[in-house]
Amino acid sequence: LVLGLDPDPAKLWPAAIESLDDAATASGQNLNAPGECAARAVAAHCRLVIEAAGEHCVATKLQLACFERLGAPGWQALGSVVAAAREHELLVLADGKRGDIDVSAAAYAQAFFGETPSPFGPVPGLDADALTVNPLMGRDSLAPFVTAARVAEAGIFVLVRTSNPGAQDVQDQPLAGQGTVAEALATIVHQLGADGVGSSGLADVGAVVGATAPDHLARLRELMPQTIFLLPGVGAQGGTIDSLRDAFAPGPAGGLITVSRGIVAAHERVGGEPAAAAAAEAERLRAGAWSLAA
Amino acid sequence: LVLGLDPDPAKLWPAAIESLDDAATASGQNLNAPGECAARAVAAHCRLVIEAAGEHCVATKLQLACFERLGAPGWQALGSVVAAAREHELLVLADGKRGDIDVSAAAYAQAFFGETPSPFGPVPGLDADALTVNPLMGRDSLAPFVTAARVAEAGIFVLVRTSNPGAQDVQDQPLAGQGTVAEALATIVHQLGADGVGSSGLADVGAVVGATAPDHLARLRELMPQTIFLLPGVGAQGGTIDSLRDAFAPGPAGGLITVSRGIVAAHERVGGEPAAAAAAEAERLRAGAWSLAA
């Protein structure tokens, strides 16, 4: 189970706002800029969610858009959430869906896996364990990510068949040769990962496969037998864990089910304290995932 | 002509490093963190490039990967480069190639075109004039960008046929129905832009079409008659301005030729001061573009 964090400053847990007030009072600091305040509140919120539900998860997935919209303070908050995840022994998946020509892909790889040489010394990157990447620009746009991730003992998850309805517009289109665009992407993912298969039998190039379209799972698993599937779409987007059995063909580690709003906003459905509701929901989802993979 | 900025801290103009030293001495500040120093040097470099070559360009294109790899200080530098571009009356194209499910696409749109509501007041975004976006996830992933850009009187450029060799892997694949993946994307772009055609006859949804594969231009122009083409790939990637005539069918404003290393690193080819070489090269390219579009 992966704990998805896509913090909206307008929907934070109340305790996050309160902790910010306390911290400001204690330090005598006067936080004026909305960006500063919102970023600190977002970081506090994410830390609380990790403390509540982290023990039921193996990783946290950070939606970069939610940090980026807060500017430089948001990027600072991102770093502090990564630190919180590390403290709780969670892997960190940066959900950025980046993709660009080789030289720019290499720059993104420096941002997430490596460091950037400069006349002032190397500038450290985010040190993520994995990044989601977009393969529309083809193999040479993915190669720098694969290379850098391998050096850093990290991984990437390539979009293959996403969880949103618009996946039909491009990814599900049938190709003239055979298969669909998503199946062609799956073949690229399988090939890129072939040189990075670890002792677990799983490759370091993963695939994002939406949990909302389980019909695709068996075929994509066939095309990518050694690939870890990152499975978003359970909960708010309508997917269910029970439908994901095909993803786990290579064993329990073959699939990572990522749930964001389903855990963080569990209290809106069941009532009670946000932290307790999130913990209970994470525990329930984890049990479901394991029974499926067993 | 669009001035592309993809600053590498290891290849900055010497004057940028010097200006940083001067500023540090003058302020008595002790800049220790490499990220801080590198970000300031990058911002100084971009400002110098804009001062040198900006007058020959209508816009600047900022490669977000190059700022993101410097962390929070990099995002701060990005803001200061946007300010420098505004001072020189240049439009700002944020080259991020973002794309995600609707709620996350809306968050990116807040980051680049709008603002983010928070309990502490709205957090302003980057206020870009345009953002490059990746359409692999389909129409519903593009819609939030179109909506937000329209509200902000900005625009987006959707990847249709990129300039890198890997464009063949996915974008050039023939579909079972007719045309290629890129042509299907072109149709989506044309449809999305239909409601946003201004008095110029051009839509607010543009397309990224690489200058490295001019053979595609005529067909893509046919599918997107009202679309502004953003044309990267001239110079370092091997494209030439002379081959781009088909892009300008709707008139001079129908195409934006973007050149990055070709201008910024012109002194490496022709010698002399970086600023003078960049200015001369930008002037030359601009003249070439206009003669073509005329």
Contact B169 A175 (CB under 8 A): no
Q: How many CB atoms lie within 10 A of CB A11?
A: 12
Which has more confidence, B23 or A163?
A163
Task: Select from A82, A46, A40, A29 the least CA-distant residue to B71.
Answer: A82
pLDDT in tens, B239-277: 888 889 888 887 888 999 999 999 999 999 999 999 999
CA distance B176 to A128: 39
- Residue B30: predicted pLDDT: 56
Task: Note whether A29 contacts B: Cβ–Cβ < 8 A.
Answer: no
CA distance B141 to B102: 5
Which residues make Cβ contacts (< 8 Å) with residue B291, sequence separation at least 6?
none
CA distance A238 to B221: 39
Task: Note whether A266 contacts B: Cβ–Cβ < 8 A.
Answer: no
DSSP output for chain A: -EEEE---GGG--HHHHHHHHHHHHHHT-----HHHHHHHHHHHHHHHHHHHHGGG-SEEEEEHHHHHTTHHHHHHHHHHHHHHHHHTT-EEEEEEEE---HHHHHHHHHHHTSEE--TTSPEE----SEEEE--TT-HHHHHHHHHHHHHTT-EEEEEEE-SSGGGGTTTTPBBSSSSBHHHHHHHHHHHHHGGGB-TTS-BSEEEEE-TT-GGGHHHHHHH-TTPPEEE--BSTTSB-GGGGGGGGTT-GGGEEEEESHHHHTHHHHH-S-HHHHHHHHHHHHHHHHHHHH-
| Residue B258, CA distances (Å) to B66, B125, B263 in order | 17, 24, 10
Q: A4 near A256, Cβ under 8 Å?
A: no
Task: Select from B72, B105, B108 the least CA-distant residue to A43.
Answer: B72
> Which of the residues B112, B115, B137 would you substitute to probe the A interface, choosing the one with the greatest number of A C-beta atoms within 10 Å?
B137
pLDDT in tens, B183-217: 999 999 999 999 999 888 999 999 999 999 888 99
- Residue B20: predicted pLDDT: 80
Task: Note whether B170 contacts A: Cβ–Cβ < 8 A.
Answer: yes
Could you identify the residue written with the tokens 């592309």? B4
In this complex, the residue of A8, A97, A111 whose CB is nearest that of residue B100 is A97
Which residues make Cβ contacts (< 8 Å) with residue B200, sequence separation at least 6?
B253
Show pLDDT as tens, one digit a residue, over chain A (294 residues): 999 999 999 999 999 998 887 766 666 565 668 999 999 999 999 999 999 999 999 999 999 999 999 999 999 999 999 999 999 999 999 999 999 999 999 999 999 999 999 999 999 999 999 999 999 999 999 999 999 999 999 999 999 999 999 999 999 999 998 999 999 999 999 999 999 998 889 999 999 999 998 889 999 999 999 999 999 988 888 888 888 988 888 788 899 999 999 999 999 999 999 999 999 999 999 999 888 766
Distance from CA of B246 to the nearest CA of A (A): 23
Could you identify the residue written with the tokens 């996403």? A162
In this complex, the residue of B9, B117, B138 whose CB is nearest that of residue A164 is B138
DSSP B169: T
Q: A261 near A6, Cβ under 8 Å?
A: yes
3-state SS, residue B68: helix
Task: Select from A210, A249, A201, A254 the least CA-distant residue to A228.
Answer: A254
- Residue A27: predicted pLDDT: 63
Cα B202 versus chain centre, distance: 18
Least confident of B66-80, B96-110, B237-251: B237-251
- Residue A275: predicted pLDDT: 97
Could you identify the residue written with the tokens 């994307």? B185
Contact B119 A41 (CB under 8 A): yes
Chain A residue with minimal CA distance to B74? A72
Q: How many CB atoms lie within 10 A of CB A282?
A: 24
Question: In chain B, how long is the greatest CA-to-CA distance?
Answer: 66
Stretch B85-111: mean pLDDT, rounded?
98
CB contact burial B157-176 (16+ within 10 A = b; e otherwise): bbbbbbbbbbbebbbbbebe
Q: Please report which confidence band the pLDDT of residue B28 belongs to, taking 50, 70 and 90 as the band edges.
A: low
DSSP output for A137-165: T-HHHHHHHHHHHHHTT-EEEEEEE-SSG
3-state SS, residue B116: strand
Q: Sign of the C-alpha dihedral, residues B122, B127, B129, B132?
A: negative
ipTM, interface predicted TM-score of the complex: 0.96
3-state SS, residue B155: strand
Q: B50 near B60, Cβ under 8 Å?
A: yes
pTM: 0.96
Task: Note whether A70 contacts B: Cβ–Cβ < 8 A.
Answer: yes
CB hemisphere CA count around A12 (13 angstroms): 27
Identify the bridge partners of residue A132 per DSSP, sorted by sequence position. A157
pLDDT in tens, B37-58: 999 999 999 999 999 999 999 9
In this complex, the residue of B41, B135, B168 whose CB is nearest that of residue A138 is B168
Strands (E), B192-275: 205-209, 229-231, 255-259
**Tokens read off for A144:** 């720098």
- The question of whether A61 is a catalytic residue gets the answer no
Partners of B120 on chain A (C-beta within 8 Å) are 9, 31, 34, 37-38, 41
CA distance A113 to A92: 11
- Residue A26: predicted pLDDT: 62
Task: Note whether A105 contacts B: Cβ–Cβ < 8 A.
Answer: yes
Q: Phi, psi (5° rounding) for residue A251?
A: 120, 175
Could you identify the residue written with the tokens 């590390």? A86
Q: A103 near B6, Cβ under 8 Å?
A: yes
Chain A residue with minimal CA distance to B68? A111
Q: B227 near B201, Cβ under 8 Å?
A: no
Q: B149 near B173, Cβ under 8 Å?
A: no
